[in-house]
Structure 1
Amino acid sequence: MSRARIKDRTPLRTRLALLACATVALITVGVCVASYAVIRYELGHQLDLQLTQAATLATQQNRAEPTGVLAGECRFLAAPACAQLAPADPVGDPEEPYLLPVTDATREVAAGTRAPYYTNLTLQGHRVRMLTTAYTGGGADKALQVALRSDTTAKGLRQATALLAAISVAGVALAAAGGYWVARRGLAPVARLTATAERIAATRNARTRIDLPPGRRDEVTRLAASFNTMLGELEDSVTARRRLVADASHELRTPLTALRTNAELLARADRLTTAQRDRASAALGRQIHEVTSLVNDLIELARDEEPQPLVEEVALAPLVTHAVRLADAHWPQVAFSLTVLPEAATGTLPGVPSRLSRLLANLLGNAAKFTPPGGAPVEVTLSARELTVRDHGPGIAAEDLPYVFDRFYRAEVSRALPGSGLGLAMARQIALAHGAELSAEAAPGGGALFRLTFPADAFRPA
């Protein structure tokens, strides 16, 4: 299996934990390595300073320029440094053997052709460090060698190494535990979000929500809150769809039953009189028209937005005038009056002409339906900011006012009138799609007033 495929299958929580662990572990190991280097340097530096001090002391205490071993007790930890003088010429060597090794490098230091240097060696079974430097007590061509036991320094370095290694292991372990805890706690909302999404996919229940911790405002919590908002919108959409289907089935049941009854009646036309056949045929035509209108309204209500390719600049005054003229012809028993204010006579609005015509037709038809024959006219007023349609019918009851734009909602006074309860719902949807706002209110003196308010930046006077 490829490394990329393994990485893709690794959970995000594990990857974050590994990343945090690796980061902290790298820092811990880096700090421990740096600490080891500093400790090693300081211990060695301290030992070298002691050798330098021992060389100075040996020079001050031996002004007679002897050669050979000056002090040879450095095999003990508390003893002073071993010290000896070696000439540049081997002829001057003493009869007694040297305690410290004398090499060609030692002769070169004595001759002044080489700089002082340090050496690590083993003396009488003990590790020592030796300084070889030029003797400055008097005369020339001699090298002073001093040595101190260094096993204590090595032991301290080993102890520091073990301690730093333990700190590194503990740091890596704590980093792993902390990384896993941080990843688990930080991604807990994501885990809940994933579980919620999987539960919704399995149960198709959009009412489930993610529990948000109080007081937290980090990015993951904001993501969970946005997901809850999306679930709320989804639940509203599903509820609206179900309600639409239920209401549509309820509204279609009666006309479809009547259609089937009249169709079955016409199937036995040989048993009917001419007048009965004509009445059944006329009823069948009306019901077909009613069902067709209802289905068309449902199709248009199911559309969320207007088709953008059909949007154009629509002259409102001619459109409203044409809509009033059509309503006057369709409702001959109702009078209509139109008032176009001067500032709106040449204004335009971006939109779909056919949809705006449907909005106006629904508003005017609703007003005409509640206007008694021969009563006061339906008043239509167009200004630069809004269009109002006012009738003088029974008006809208206060308890019905919040629901007049709901689909299939019909008030008590309207249930005996023709219609399906979709006209105002469709009018508001068309208004919202054009950026306008459609509202209803009780008109002063009786009747209902519908107000279509245009967006301030959309209406363009000529």
Structure 2
Amino acid sequence: MRGLIRRLRALPLRSRLALLVAAAVAAAVAAVAASCWFVTREQLEHQMDETLRSSKVDDDYLAALFTYCKGGTTREPPRLPVPVQLVDAQGTVCAAPDATELPATEADTKVAQRQQDYALHTEKDEDGTEMRVFTRRLEVGPGPGLGTGNLAVSIARPMKEITDPLSTLAWVLFLVAGIGAVGAGAAGLWIARTGLRPVDDLAHAFEHVARTEDLGVRLPAEGDDEIARLSRSFNSMTSSLATSRDRQSQLIADAGHELRTPLTSLRTNIELLARSDDTGRAIPPDDRKALMSSVKAQMTELAALIGDLQELSRPDAAQPGPLQVVALHDITRTALQRARLRGPELTITDELAPWYVRAEPAALERAIVNVLDNAVKFSPAGGAIEVALNRGELTVRDHGPGIPAEDLPHVFERFWRSPSARQLPGSGLGLSIVARTVQQAGGDIALRPAEGGGTTATIRLPGAPQPPPSGSSRMPGDPSGS
């Protein structure tokens, strides 16, 4: 059985479907044919039994047969179309000389003994022919040639009247079932080929994509059946893969472009220093100091860019690090200290109300530092930055040139930088990292023009003004509890 299953699994799917359809139809046809044969047999046997029950034997014949059996005459009774014989209470059988005697059964004897009204059974005669026998009481009384005693009369009909039509019917049903099974197999193969043609197209599409890496392949997806759903899923998958590949290519191209600038500048400065050492012509101390400061700044920028690229190398859907309950106001205060060091000439004010959130502490601090760095970078000398935290809404407002309305939809895209910021240090990745970190913490971020000039960055994070109970990481009103 297991070997048969293995061989079936080795067949193509359409062949298996055709075989299954043929087997199912053959089983159904066989069940119907068998039911038809058994019902027909029951009906024929019932009709024969009813015919035997209703059979009448002429009294003159019975009188002649009785007299013949008693030895009163040597004249044979007339021939009847069906075998008729007499059975007495002792089970003795008497039939006409030209008729075949059938053995009397116990049931026949009981009928003759008046213990039961009739008997129906099947017996074989001397030639081995099956006969259906009906035995009933024979009331013997005054009559022509009839004496007294308990007798029964048995009337028989050959079973071939049933078996011959049943044999013919069996062959007809077998032939019909065979034709039906073959036809079902052919129909199943045709249906399998037609029904699986979309699956073949899908398989060819997958093979084409695997062979050529062509993600522009699209399959027709008409209707609402499983094949259409599978085609739509394939189209959606290839579209997503194409988009992902395009984004990857764009990321590599943008990263290469951003890396080229500091590397080129760094290479130029190092070549100047190397040429000075090779030629023995010393660079003036002030110029050398400025050159070294430029090299240090470029290396710092390059390290920051590589760090940002490493941060963005994680998939957008990747799970963040372990989430902890952290004090957003404390993290913001720490980020403000770093911002004041980077913009000592700026006036940075803060108004921070307590607020606790569930987030990855390091990633959240880096995100807030990036927002404050942008505010410091675009603020004019002697300008002011206002930072406020109220019920989970952190706002950072600067008084810089602001962001044009046409640039606002692009500020969170990777490597995007406004034309006015291209001369300033930065990689164009900071706000993209901020947006992902805030979204992973369940919040959102938005930039909008501020009244009177400048830009306001708003970060909203779910949380509570009070920390959770000791030993619990569940925030008040947070159903996740972890």
Q: Check whether TM > 0.5.
A: yes
Once the two structures are overlaid, the 10-residue window that deviates more, 433-442 or 355-364, is 433-442
Consecutive unaligned residues in structure 1, runs of 5 or more: 75-80
Task: Classify the secondary structure of the residue corresponding to 2:138.
Answer: coil
Equivalent position to 1:199, from 205, 208, 214? 208
Equivalent position to 1:461, from 443, 459, 466? 466
Residues 355 and 466 in structure 2, CA contact (< 8 A), matched pair in contact too: yes
Task: Classify the secondary structure of the residue corresponding to 1:116.
Answer: strand
Residues 403 and 455 in structure 2, CA contact (< 8 A), matched pair in contact too: yes
Residues 111 and 119 in structure 2, CA contact (< 8 A), matched pair in contact too: no
Deviations for 1:369-401, whole angstroms, at most 9, x for unmatched residues?
A: 2222233x2222212232222223232223222
What residue is the counterpart of 1:365 in the other structure? 373
CA distance in 2, matches of 1:86, 1:287: 128
The alpha carbon displacement at 1:85 in A equals 3.6
CA distance in 2, matches of 1:414, 1:70: 133
Residues 92/273 of structure 1: CA separation in 2 closer, same or farther (3 Å cut): closer
The alpha carbon displacement at 1:249 in A equals 0.9
The alpha carbon displacement at 1:295 in A equals 1.0
Residues 256-275 of structure 1 correspond to what in structure 2 (within 5 A)? 256-270=263-277, 271=279, 272-275=281-284
Residues 372-451 of structure 1 correspond to what in structure 2 (within 5 A)? 372-375=380-383, 377-451=384-458
Matched, 1:335 2:342: no
Q: Which amino acid is 1:237 matched to?
A: S
Number of residue pairs matched by the alignment: 442
CA distance in 2, matches of 1:459, 1:17: 64
Equivalent position to 1:118, from 121, 128, 152? 121
What residue is the counterpart of 1:131 in the other structure? 133
CA distance in 2, matches of 1:403, 1:36: 81
The alpha carbon displacement at 1:109 in A equals 6.3
The alpha carbon displacement at 1:289 in A equals 1.7
Task: Classify the secondary structure of the residue corresponding to 2:261.
Answer: helix
What TM-score does the superposition give when structure 2 sets the normalisation length?
0.79
Matched, 1:46 2:54: no
CA distance in 2, matches of 1:379, 1:91: 129
What residue is the counterpart of 1:78 in the other structure? none
Equivalent position to 1:281, from 268, 273, 292? 292
Identity %: 33
Matched, 1:355 2:363: yes
Residues 20 and 175 in structure 1, CA contact (< 8 A), matched pair in contact too: yes
The alpha carbon displacement at 1:39 in A equals 0.9
Residues 52 and 131 in structure 1, CA contact (< 8 A), matched pair in contact too: no
CA distance in 2, matches of 1:423, 1:91: 118
Deviations for 1:88-142, whole angstroms, at most 9, x for unmatched residues?
A: 6799958x614132435498467548973434668999x7744241442424443
Residues 321/92 of structure 1: CA separation in 2 closer, same or farther (3 Å cut): closer
What residue is the counterpart of 1:97 in the other structure? 97
The alpha carbon displacement at 1:292 in A equals 1.4
Consecutive unaligned residues in structure 2, runs of 5 or more: 69-75, 141-147, 468-482
Residues 205/102 of structure 1: CA separation in 2 closer, same or farther (3 Å cut): closer
CA RMSD of aligned residues (A): 3.4
CA distance in 2, matches of 1:90, 1:354: 111
Residues 317/105 of structure 1: CA separation in 2 closer, same or farther (3 Å cut): closer
Q: Which amino acid is 2:217 matched to?
A: T
Residues 18-33 of structure 1 correspond to what in structure 2 (within 5 A)? 18-33=19-34
Task: Classify the secondary structure of the residue corresponding to 1:58.
Answer: coil
Task: Classify the secondary structure of the residue corresponding to 1:212.
Answer: coil
The alpha carbon displacement at 1:409 in A equals 0.9
CA distance in 1, matches of 2:125, 2:272: 125
Task: Classify the secondary structure of the residue corresponding to 1:146.
Answer: strand
Task: Classify the secondary structure of the residue corresponding to 2:395.
Answer: strand
Q: Which amino acid is 2:153 matched to?
A: L
